[in-house]
């Protein structure tokens, strides 16, 4: 970098590398070259099993995506908070500036009802509500009294509104950025709790604490077994050799406020799925894993929480399985309504099955879906990168 020296080499893909480029290109119009910048990162998640029951689920299995929300924060000398999140299609604002006092800070933070009016009123500014809401929640829940403003850049490549917890990733990244900037040392569980407050109390979306905890706690390539209601970590599940999850976004929106289905069958499927992931990787076990996924999707559909595009993808996966393809099962991810379908198959080969199904989806709907393939570490595992001024 021309103006900064990173504290460590970024190893988390294009999200962080693109953030570096945005920082360099924004000097001195946004960031200043003479003050340190801290970088944090929080991935999206794929709901592998259990999400149908929402917070009523005794167990959920989820996996972090390689797509993530990345944030860069720098202290200012005045009381301004300047937010910047690049947007290519003009569908929302890209920059927003407020003063600390607009949130009642540093001494008397506004309440959540007032915050909803201030931060969530304009749909084009909703992205900023998650960021400013994170600062407000830290002030209200942890007596944070910020005595200076910040520059905060957010770049996220987690697709929105398709059931992969894009809002949780943004919120966790913002909470981590503000906590590091103002010296708050919070536990992973607390980050999950605070993220839920931001989403529910400020932005009024039904964010699950399990979504945020996956973004906070996960390691690359592993599944997290979590209590659906409290988000408590039950187990870390290593992905068996020879198996791989990929996912296909269908161009339809998930429903962030869909009603959860209290399903004993889904709970049993999720527990059995976890058992099979830890069992001997036989052909029979692989087929049973796939059947559990197909059964979960049938329950989504029976409860009106799927749609034609998602059903098309799942049925295409079933036909490929029956024809001897390298896919074992498929199901809708997230709370339901639409969005993204997860596929399980042979490692290194199910990717090609996803490409084949993506082509069929495009022919049927005209939508060329995004494919989720790789995994990445959660926010705590990633830690943070400090950019130090080269002339310091």
Same-domain pairing of 15 and 46: yes
pLDDT, position 390: 87
218-239 pLDDT, tens digit per residue, is 999 899 999 877 788 999 999 8
- Spans in the chain with pLDDT lower than 70: 9-14, 256-260, 392
Spell out where the chain has E strands. Answer: 4-6, 37-49, 60-75, 80-84, 95-99, 150-156, 222-226, 233-238, 243-249, 327-332, 340-346, 371-372, 385-389
Q: What is the CATH number of the domain that holds 11?
A: 3.30.230.10
Q: Is residue 276 part of a domain?
A: yes
Q: How many domains does the chain have?
A: 2
Same-domain pairing of 190 and 293: no
pLDDT, position 263: 80
Contact present, 155 and 22 (Cβ < 8 Å): yes
- What domain range is 287 assigned to? 238-372
Q: Is residue 320 part of a domain?
A: yes
Q: Is residue 201 part of a domain?
A: yes
- Omega prior to 65 cis, within 30 of 0: no
pLDDT, position 231: 81
Same-domain pairing of 43 and 146: yes
pLDDT, position 55: 74
Same-domain pairing of 79 and 58: yes
Q: What is the CATH number of the domain that holds 263?
A: 3.30.70.890
200-209 pLDDT, tens digit per residue, is 999 998 878 8
Same-domain pairing of 126 and 206: yes
- Contact residues for 66 (Cβ-Cβ < 8 A; gap 6+): 13, 43, 372, 373, 374, 375, 376
Handedness of CA 41, 47, 51, 57 (dihedral sign): negative
Report yes or no on whether pTM surpasses 0.85.
yes
């Amino acid at each position: 970098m021309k103006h900064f020296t990173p504290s460590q080499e970024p190893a988390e893909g294009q999200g962080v590398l693109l953030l570096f480029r945005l920082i360099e290109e924004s000097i001195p119009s946004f960031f200043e070259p003479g003050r340190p910048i801290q970088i944090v990162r929080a991935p999206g998640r794929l709901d592998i099993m259990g999400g149908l029951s929402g917070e009523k689920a005794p167990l959920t299995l989820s996996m972090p995506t390689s797509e993530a929300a990345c944030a860069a924060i720098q202290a200012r000398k005045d009381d301004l908070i300047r937010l910047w999140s690049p947007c290519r299609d003009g569908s929302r604002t890209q920059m927003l500036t407020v003063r600390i006092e607009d949130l009642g800070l540093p001494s008397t933070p506004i309440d959540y009802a007032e915050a909803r009016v201030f931060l969530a009123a304009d749909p084009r500014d909703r992205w900023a509500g998650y960021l400013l809401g994170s600062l407000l929640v830290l002030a209200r829940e942890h007596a944070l009294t910020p005595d200076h403003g910040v520059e905060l850049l957010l770049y996220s490549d987690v697709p929105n509104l398709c059931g992969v917890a894009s809002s949780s990733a943004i919120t966790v990244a913002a909470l981590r950025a503000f906590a590091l900037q103002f010296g708050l040392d919070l536990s992973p569980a607390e980050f999950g709790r605070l993220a839920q407050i931001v989403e529910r109390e400020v932005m009024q979306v039904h964010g699950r604490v399990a979504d945020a905890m996956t973004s906070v706690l996960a390691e690359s390539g592993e599944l997290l077994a979590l209590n659906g209601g409290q988000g408590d970590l039950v187990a870390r599940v290593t992905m068996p050799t020879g198996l791989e999850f990929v996912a296909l976004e269908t161009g339809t929106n998930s429903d962030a406020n869909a009603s959860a289905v209290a399903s004993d069958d889904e709970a049993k499927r999720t527990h059995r799925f976890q058992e099979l992931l830890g069992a001997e990787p036989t052909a029979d076990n692989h087929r049973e894993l796939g059947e559990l996924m197909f059964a979960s999707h049938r329950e989504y559909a029976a409860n009106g929480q799927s749609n034609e595009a998602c059903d098309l993808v799942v049925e295409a996966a079933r036909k490929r399985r029956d024809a001897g393809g390298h896919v074992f099962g498929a199901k809708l991810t997230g709370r339901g309504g639409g969005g993204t379908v997860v596929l399980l198959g042979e490692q290194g080969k199910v990717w090609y099955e996803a490409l084949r199904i993506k082509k069929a989806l495009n022919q049927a709907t005209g939508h060329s879906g995004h494919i989720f393939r790789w995994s990445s570490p959660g926010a705590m595992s990633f830690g943070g990168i400090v950019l130090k001024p080269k002339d310091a």
